[in-house]
Amino acid sequence: MTGTALAGRTPAGTGTSRHPLSGALAARRPLVCGILNVTPDSFSDGGRFDGLDRAVEHGRTLAAEGADLIDIGGESTRPGSRPPTLAEELDRVVPVVEALVRQVPVPLSVDTSRPEVMRAAVAAGASMVNDVRALQRPGALEAAAQLGVPVCLTHMQRSPETMQRDPRYQDVVVEVRTFLAERTRACLDAGIRPEHLVVDPGFGFGKTLSHNVALLASLDAFTGLGVPVMVGLSRKSMLGQLTGRDVGDRLPGSLAAALVAVQRGASVLRVHDVAATRDVLAVLDAVGPV
């Protein structure tokens, strides 16, 4: 983990103020990123947060539970899902960012692959971009570089529509690490500051259970890239496959996965259950480094 990771909230490298995330990363404490889905079909909550008020209320809850940041997403990347139109995605995400930025003292991240949504969300107050397509869409890399905010790059094989149709790798850890190294290089070449980069192996994004388990077991392979590692394991199907539990009963599996991830070097945990995850980290912290 780099000491200055995620420093600098001010646009395009103009200012000297530090990103609110940088202190926690410098303190070597794993960060908890709360998930705020603003999709009508939001898989983990049955679409309960389809209205603006409910989404904002849930964001306030995540902050009150101790989230270090809140990731707001308007595209369902559930396997087989079809993407929203640009207008739909903007309509879902931007009002939530606008409202929440005034109500919570926590930095907001936008989970999007579209440059237009990145720009609109940052203009509305978001201070990080989380892109499961690792800034590969036309214009996304340039938009992120211009915005001057921290960026999370995630690995995905193919697209959400097709990614779970027979995913294959020669060596999943090597291939995902190589991809993330290439995208990190592309970001640096585009002028994104190294301390603004985070990488994520993309659990569930074009991976079988054995691919996901191999990535979790070898997570320390990604810390060698020299930037913080984020993981999104919370409630995912790999935990359903390992435990036999439906999505609503995956909290114990999610907490075990979070613990393993931190012990193998994860710096940011993207989770639904912020309070419970904080409890795991409190116990881990009392024991000290592995």
Q: Which residues bind ligand YH5 (CB under 6 A)?
A: 35, 43-44, 77-78, 111, 130, 132, 152, 154, 200, 202-204, 230, 232, 235-237, 247, 270
Supply the minimum distance, in Å, between the C-beta of residue 288 and ligand YH5.
27
* CA quadruple 136, 235, 40, 65: dihedral, nearest 10: -100
End-to-end CA distance of the chain: 15
Q: How far apart are CA 69 and CA 32, in angstroms?
A: 7
Given the residues 236, 245, 264, 278, select the one marked as catalytic: 236
How far, in Å, CA of 141 to CA of 147, rounded?
10
Distance, CA of 104 to CA of 116 (rounded, Å): 24
In the complex, what is the shortest distance from the CB of residue 14 to ligand YH5, in angstroms, rounded to a whole number? 27
The backbone torsions φ and ψ at residue 184, rounded to the nearest 5 degrees and listed phi first, read: -60, -45
Least Cβ distance, residue 15 to ligand YH5 (angstroms)? 26
In 3D space, the residue among 216, 223, 287, 272 whose CA is nearest the CA of residue 44 turns out to be: 272
Nearer to ligand YH5, 22 or 113 (CB): 113
Q: Which residue sits closest to ligand YH5, CB atoms considered?
A: 232
**Closer residue to ligand YH5 (CB): 30 or 232:** 232
Which helix (H) or strand (E) covers residue 142, if one does? helix 140-147
The answer to whether residue 235 is catalytic is: no
Q: With respect to ligand YH5, which residue has the nearer C-beta, 183 or 270?
A: 270
| Nearer to ligand YH5 (CB atom), residue 200 or residue 288 | 200
Residue 79: CB minimum distance to ligand YH5, A = 8
Report the alpha-carbon distance of residue 287 to residue 265 in Å, rounded. 16
DSSP 229: B
Place of tokens 């993407």: 83
Cα 95 to its chain centre, rounded Å, is 20
Does the annotation count 270 as an active-site position?
Answer: yes
In angstroms, give the least distance from the CB of 16 to ligand YH5: 28
Nearer to ligand YH5 among residue 149 and residue 152 (C-beta): 152
- What is the rounded CA–CA span in Å between residue 153 and residue 30? 18
Do residues 51 and 85 touch, judged by C-beta distance below 8 A?
no
Kindly state the smallest distance separating residue 66's Cβ from ligand YH5, in Å. 19
Angle of CA points 72, 93, 130, to nearest 5°: 40
Three-state SS for 245? coil
Of 10 and 61, which CB lies nearer to ligand YH5 in the complex structure?
A: 61
Closest to 193 measured CA to CA, from 2, 56, 64: 2
Among all residues, which ones are annotated catalytic? Answer: 236, 270
